[in-house]
Structure 1
């Protein structure tokens, strides 16, 4: 699941021809509402694409059906860049042209969803997990930073680090939900270090040393947040307004997870409204 797609969709979402809108209470919605109209509309079109392919990977039916639909999305993206957009990619025509969005980044997102669709991911090695994070999160970041107007080199580095920070936060927040789907995104190496060489989602979540594995991933995520802030602090606040809000809002989740701990039963961590308002006031001022 991408960091964008993890934001709830509006109940008004009904067609693929009209970009899906995030729920009004989400941090993504708040961040995007502060953008100029052309950037906001472009981000909504990218969000709609991410929602659509994420829904295929998670709820698209039998595996062969999901694979076929993701292949259709690949073909539709290729057709978009060949000048033959179909109705569901029509909202991307303007953003691709105006902001120079790259075909390979859209295709990377689809490839990431295919990793979920082809088989339930269970304890991937660290390299595979990093590839997954690059595809489903940092590739979305690469699309986004071009829309935000960041320079190429720092923009790509920001997409690398912030995408991984957000995705690792998602993974840690959603371990119980993912286990219910038969998935376990915690990496194999730290699980093996606590004696789980062939873990299942159930055995990992019930293990008395689960906190050690999660603490390692928390620290990795924190490192990516730190790198992201270092990049954003050197760039225009106007161009980094939206990623600042998203990063700060997600970091509240990471802090909440560290404070809550990993003993079962685990309550879902969700930042309070006052904390989110504080993020908005600190980060939205240009």
Structure 2
């Protein structure tokens, strides 16, 4: 399909994004999306939510478009989201995204405000990147996770018919932990894109600056302090994940097993961070096929109380 005339160079159109998503996902993903473990009846809904989030994320992040264009596209997505919720999806820029999403919203009575929260998170990313915003604290970063990650877990629990407060809190813990793990895994990638998530309070505690996480900084003492900061952040992410992990043992059937693997995938990434001496700004840890047997074994042994 041809490039839309209003799409800047380096940014894929919604049609191109959708073409990628409906085949092999063109992004590295740590964790399964609508995998074979997902209940088949819910798979179309999960895919529709993922396509929405992935398309919005691409508009916020891919290519060299200016911030004003990205924000305009995200604003247009919000308008189409409202139209989908109202049952009027004719036309629009992303029919392959919003037509299935409209069906999912109607069929499953999705809470649309959670989808809107995701758009708010992507808009925040665009504005923060343009302003070179630096997160002052872990508390500020967790507030971002409330918009960028937690809605996904709550949407999935909604599909599974789970809405008790304990489960929602545990889902938030798992999703925020996954977001944080992705940040500490992706330090090198994010810094190259001028996105900075390392919180200032932790850096100050270890006597390092954001600029010290450059591969060009060769001072070993500085690198050790940087690694200690990443180690602290990874420890906190592991603790948060363990707080929410018991949810996976209570979600029934295949969905519960998928959640177990999501939890174990996040914890395994943290293992890989540790194996790199937490120098993840120099080498990016990732899951490999060889990790799956251990993840399956650990998934089968998960207790109903918080992990250690």
Give, in angstroms, the shift of residue 65 of structure 1.
0.3
Q: Is the 8 A contact 1:80 1:89 kept in 2?
A: yes
Tell me the distance in 2 between the aligned counterparts of 1:238 and 1:188.
40
Q: Partner of 2:52 in structure 1? A: 49
Task: Indicate yes or no: 2:231 matched with 1:222.
Answer: no
- 1:260-279: CA deviation from partner (whole Å, max 9, x where unpaired): 11348732212331321443
Give, in angstroms, the shift of residue 97 of structure 1.
2.4
Tell me which of 22, 26, 35 is aligned to 2:38. 35
Task: Indicate yes or no: 2:264 matched with 1:248.
Answer: yes
Q: Partner of 2:79 in structure 1? A: 75
Q: TM-score, normalised by structure 1?
A: 0.83
Tell me which of 98, 101, 117 is aligned to 2:126. 117
Q: Is the 8 A contact 1:23 1:29 kept in 2?
A: no
Tell me which of 105, 123, 126 is aligned to 2:114. 105
Would the alpha carbon gap of residues 284 and 104 (structure 1) be closer, same or farther in structure 2, given more than 3 Å must change?
A: farther
- Equivalences for 1:78-227 in 2 at 5 Å? 78-85=82-89, 86=92, 87=95, 88-120=97-129, 122-125=133-136, 126-196=138-208, 199-200=209-210, 202-205=211-214, 206=217, 207-208=222-223, 209-227=225-243
- 1:140-167: CA deviation from partner (whole Å, max 9, x where unpaired): 1111222234344344223201111111
Tell me the distance in 2 between the aligned counterparts of 1:92 and 1:37.
17
When the two structures are aligned, how many residues end up with a matched partner? 270
Tell me the distance in 2 between the aligned counterparts of 1:22 and 1:279.
23
Task: Indicate yes or no: 2:275 matched with 1:259.
Answer: yes
Larger radius of gyration: 2
Give the root-mean-square deviation of aligned CA atoms. Answer: 2.8
Q: Is the 8 A contact 2:173 2:240 kept in 1?
A: yes
Q: Is the 8 A contact 2:33 2:50 kept in 1?
A: no
Q: Partner of 2:306 in structure 1? A: none
